Amino acid sequence: MSNDNTTVAEIHNFLRSNLSVSNSQVQEWIESNDESVCSGVLHVLLNASNRIEPGFAFREYGDILLRAALGVIISGNKDGEPEYAAYSN
């Protein structure tokens, strides 16, 4: 697995593009315990899930969404604006 800084850069690059990402890549990203990575995955799932190929089954989607959300909550980050807000639809 890549380091967290590389992973954050990969997520930013994906969100800036119109390209798709494999669901295995998203699953790799969610293995991180880094709050920025979890936030990025959460943003991808909520705002760019149509570009994940192949798409996740409903249960897989729910499991990954829950893990990403819990990663952000557990981090305790109470900063104002999330770093991925610029990519919101």
Q: Does 87 score more than 80 pLDDT?
A: no
Mean pLDDT for all residues in the chain? 83
How much is the pTM? 0.77
Calculate the alpha carbon distances from 89 to 18, 41, 49, 78 in Å. Answer: 13, 15, 12, 23
pLDDT for residue 35:
84
Spatial distance between the Cα atoms of 42 and 50, rounded to a whole number of angstroms: 14
Q: Dihedral of CA 55/60/65/70: which sign?
A: negative
pLDDT for residue 86:
55
